[in-house]
Structure 1
Amino acid sequence: MLDPSPEDDGTSPTVSTPRFVGRDRELAALRGALARSPAIVLVEGEAGIGKSRLLREWSAAPDRRTALVSVCPPLRESLTLGPIVDAFHGIERPVPRLRLTELAGALRPLFPEWSSSLPPALPALDDAKAARHRLFRALDELLRALRVDVLVLEDAHWADEVTLEFLLFVISRQHSDGLSLVISYRPEEVDDGSLLLRLTSRLPAGVTQLRIALAPMRPDDTAVLVSSMLDGKPISQEFTTFMHDRTGGVPLAVEESVRLMCDRADLVFRDGQWVRLKLRELRVPPTVRDSTRERVSRLSPTAQQVLRAAATLAERSSPATIAMTAGLSPAACRGAITEAAGAGILDGDDRERWRFRHVLAATAVYEAIPLTDRRQFHLLAGRALEHLRPPPVARLAHHFREAGETRSWARYAEQGAELAMASGDHTKAVHLLVDLLSWAVLPPVDRARIARIAGVAALGRREPVDAVYHRVIRTLRSVLETPGLSARQQAEIRNPLGRLLITGGEARAALSELERAVADLDHDPVEAARAMTYLGWAYAGPWPASTHRRWLDRAAELTAQIDSPAQRLNLAGNRAAALLMLGEQEAWDVVADLPVDGTTAAERLDVARIHVNVGTGALIWGRYADAGQHLAVAMRLAEAEQASRLQHNVRLEQANLAWNTGRWDGLVETSAALADADRDRPAHYLGSIRLAARLAAAAGRRRAAEEQFRLVLEESARLGAADDTMEAAAALARLWLTDGNSRQALRITNEPMDTVLRKGIWVWATDLVPARIEALLAAGDLTAATRLVGRFARGLRGRTAPAPRAALTVCRALLLAAAGDHSRAATAYDRAARAWSTLPRPYDAMRARERQAEALLAQGRIEPGRELLAEQYEQLFRLGARGDADRVAQRLREHGAEVPRLWRGGRKGYGDQLSPRELDVVQLIVAGKTNREISRILAKSPATVDQQLRAAMRKLKVNSRTALAVKAVEAGVFAEEDSLDDAS
Structure 2
Amino acid sequence: MPARPPRLVGRRTELESIIQALTGAAVTVLIEGEAGVGKSRLLREALHTHAVQARGPLVAMCLPFKEALTLQPVVDAVRQARTGPAGIEFTALTGVLRPLFPEWAHELPPDPGPLGDAGAARHRLFRALGELLEGLGIEILVIEDLHWADDATLGFLLFLAAEHTRRVSLVLTYRPEEVPAGSALRSLAARSTAGAGHVRVRLAPLSVSHSAELVSSMLDDEHVSDAFARLLHQRTEGLPLALEESVRLLGDRRDLVRSHGEWVRRTLEEISVPPTIRDAVLERFARQPPDVRQVVRAAAVLTEPADESLIAHISALPAPRAMAAAAAALRSGTLIEQAPGRIAFRHILSARAVHDDIPLHIRRALHLRAAQALEQTKPTPLARLAHHFREAGAGDRWCHYAERAGDLALASGDYQNAVVMMQMLLAEGELPTEAVVRWCQKFPVFACTGYLGGTDLIRTLRSLIDDAALDVVERGRIRLQLGRMLVFTGEYGAGVAELECGISELADRPLEAVGAMSALAQPSEPSLSVAEQRRWLDRFTELARTTLPPEHRLRMLVERVTAMLGMGDPAGWKVARQIPATVSSPRDAVELTRADMNIGDAAIRWGHYGEARQRLTIGHRAAVERGLLRMRDLGAATLIHLDWHTGAWEGLAERAAAAAADAGDEPVLRLDTSLVTGHLTAAAGDLDAAADRLLDVLVDSRARGVFHTSLETAAALARVRLAQGHLDEAMRVTEEGWHAMLRKGVWLSAAYIAPIRVQVLVAAGRQADAVELVSAFARGARGCPAPLLKASLATCRAHVIDASRKPARAAAAWAAAATAWETLPRPYEALLAREAQARCLAAAGEGEGAHALLVATRDGLRELGAGHDADRLVGTLNSAGPKSGSRNGRRGPLGYGDQLSPRELEVVRLMLAGLTNPEIARTLARSPKTVAVQLKSAMRKHGVASRTALAVSVVKAGIEPAVPMEEASWRGLADQQQVQDLLLQVMLGDPGAES
Same fold (TM over 0.5): yes
Residue 516 of structure 1 corresponds to which residue in structure 2? 501
CA deviations 1:761-817 (Å, max 9, x no partner) are 222222433444556667777776566545444444444311212333444556666
Contact 1:45–1:187 (8 Å) recurs in 2: yes
Residue 481 of structure 1 corresponds to which residue in structure 2? 466
Alpha-carbon distance, 1:727 to partner = 3.5
Alpha-carbon distance, 1:683 to partner = 4.2
Residue type of the alignment partner of 1:56 = R
Alpha-carbon distance, 1:416 to partner = 1.7
Q: How does 1:228-267 map to 2 (within 5 A)?
A: 228-230=217-219, 243-244=232-233, 246-267=235-256
Residue type of the alignment partner of 1:375 = R
Alpha-carbon distance, 1:123 to partner = 0.9
Q: How does 1:757-776 map to 2 (within 5 A)?
A: 757-773=742-758
Contact 2:452–2:489 (8 Å) recurs in 1: no
Of the three residues 65, 71, 74, the one matched with 2:61 is: 71
The alignment's TM-score, normalised by the length of structure 2, stands at 0.79
Distance 1:840 1:640 in 2: 30
Residue 406 (structure 1) aligned with residue 391 (structure 2): no
Residue type of the alignment partner of 1:433 = M
Contact 1:448–1:479 (8 Å) recurs in 2: no
Residue 922 of structure 2 corresponds to which residue in structure 1? none
Unmatched tracts of structure 1, length 5 or more: 1-12, 900-984
Residue 40 of structure 1 corresponds to which residue in structure 2? 28
CA spacing shift, 1:475–1:736, aligned 2, 3 Å: same
User: Residue 805 of structure 1 aligns to a residue in which SS?
Assistant: helix
Of the three residues 382, 387, 400, the one matched with 2:376 is: 387
Q: How does 1:289-438 map to 2 (within 5 A)?
A: 289-350=278-339, 352-438=341-427
Distance 1:631 1:714 in 2: 27
CA spacing shift, 1:562–1:62, aligned 2, 3 Å: farther
CA deviations 1:230-287 (Å, max 9, x no partner) are 5566666666555555545544334434443443444455655555555543434444
Residue 538 (structure 1) aligned with residue 518 (structure 2): no
The alignment's TM-score, normalised by the length of structure 1, stands at 0.80
Larger CA deviation: 513-522 vs 851-860: 851-860
Q: How does 1:736-775 map to 2 (within 5 A)?
A: 748-773=733-758
Residue 573 of structure 1 corresponds to which residue in structure 2? 558
Distance 2:836 2:250 in 1: 89
User: Residue 505 of structure 2 aligns to a residue in which SS?
Assistant: coil
Of the three residues 141, 144, 155, the one matched with 1:154 is: 144
CA spacing shift, 1:430–1:715, aligned 2, 3 Å: closer
Contact 1:854–1:865 (8 Å) recurs in 2: yes
Contact 2:307–2:342 (8 Å) recurs in 1: yes
Alpha-carbon distance, 1:289 to partner = 3.1
Distance 1:262 1:673 in 2: 53
Alpha-carbon distance, 1:833 to partner = 3.5
Larger CA deviation: 56-65 vs 273-282: 273-282
Residue 52 of structure 1 corresponds to which residue in structure 2? 40
Distance 2:170 2:700 in 1: 41
Percent identical residues: 42
Residue 131 of structure 2 corresponds to which residue in structure 1? 141
Distance 1:216 1:701 in 2: 40
CA deviations 1:138-191 (Å, max 9, x no partner) are 21111111111111222223222322222222222243x711122223344334
Residue 459 of structure 1 corresponds to which residue in structure 2? 446
Q: Which protein is bigger by CA-based radius of gyration? A: 1
Q: How does 1:671-682 map to 2 (within 5 A)?
A: 671-675=656-660, 677-678=662-663, 680-682=665-667
Residue 89 (structure 1) aligned with residue 79 (structure 2): yes
Distance 1:892 1:244 in 2: 68
Alpha-carbon distance, 1:448 to partner = 4.2
Residue 196 of structure 1 corresponds to which residue in structure 2? 185
Alpha-carbon distance, 1:538 to partner = 1.4
Q: How does 1:192-231 map to 2 (within 5 A)?
A: 193-199=182-188, 201-202=190-191, 208-217=197-206, 225-226=214-215, 228-230=217-219
Distance 2:765 2:287 in 1: 92
Residue 943 of structure 2 corresponds to which residue in structure 1? none
Distance 2:2 2:712 in 1: 78
Residue type of the alignment partner of 1:460 = A
Residue type of the alignment partner of 2:638 = E
Residue type of the alignment partner of 1:137 = R
How many residues are paired up? Answer: 882
Alpha-carbon distance, 1:621 to partner = 0.9
User: Residue 126 of structure 1 aligns to a residue in which SS?
Assistant: coil
Residue 503 (structure 1) aligned with residue 503 (structure 2): no
Contact 1:426–1:458 (8 Å) recurs in 2: no
Residue 477 of structure 2 corresponds to which residue in structure 1? 492
CA spacing shift, 1:601–1:267, aligned 2, 3 Å: farther
Residue type of the alignment partner of 2:382 = V
Larger CA deviation: 562-571 vs 186-195: 562-571
User: Residue 142 of structure 2 aligns to a residue in which SS?
Assistant: strand
Larger CA deviation: 562-571 vs 96-105: 562-571
Alpha-carbon distance, 1:631 to partner = 1.6
Residue 17 of structure 2 corresponds to which residue in structure 1? 29
Unmatched tracts of structure 2, length 5 or more: 885-995
Residue type of the alignment partner of 1:154 = E
User: Residue 347 of structure 1 aligns to a residue in which SS?
Assistant: strand
Contact 1:40–1:200 (8 Å) recurs in 2: no
Distance 1:829 1:197 in 2: 48
Contact 1:526–1:567 (8 Å) recurs in 2: no
Distance 2:13 2:722 in 1: 66
Residue type of the alignment partner of 1:435 = M
CA deviations 1:208-248 (Å, max 9, x no partner) are 33333444455665556555555566666666555555545
Residue 131 (structure 1) aligned with residue 116 (structure 2): no
Contact 1:130–1:601 (8 Å) recurs in 2: no
Residue 929 of structure 1 corresponds to which residue in structure 2? none
Alpha-carbon distance, 1:449 to partner = 3.9
CA spacing shift, 1:221–1:772, aligned 2, 3 Å: closer
Distance 1:746 1:246 in 2: 59
User: Residue 460 of structure 1 aligns to a residue in which SS?
Assistant: helix
User: Residue 69 of structure 1 aligns to a residue in which SS?
Assistant: strand
CA deviations 1:579-637 (Å, max 9, x no partner) are 11111112212333445677687765554443232222111111111111112112322
Alpha-carbon distance, 1:36 to partner = 0.8
CA spacing shift, 1:346–1:533, aligned 2, 3 Å: same
Contact 1:150–1:181 (8 Å) recurs in 2: yes
Residue type of the alignment partner of 1:652 = A
CA deviations 1:881-914 (Å, max 9, x no partner) are 5666677778889988469xxxxxxxxxxxxxxx
Distance 2:771 2:232 in 1: 87
Question: Which structure is higher in RCO with an 8 Å CA cutoff and minimum separation 6?
Answer: 2
Distance 2:349 2:730 in 1: 62
Distance 1:174 1:859 in 2: 61
Of the three residues 634, 638, 651, the one matched with 1:653 is: 638
Contact 2:182–2:665 (8 Å) recurs in 1: no
CA spacing shift, 1:50–1:894, aligned 2, 3 Å: closer
Of the three residues 586, 600, 605, the one matched with 1:615 is: 600
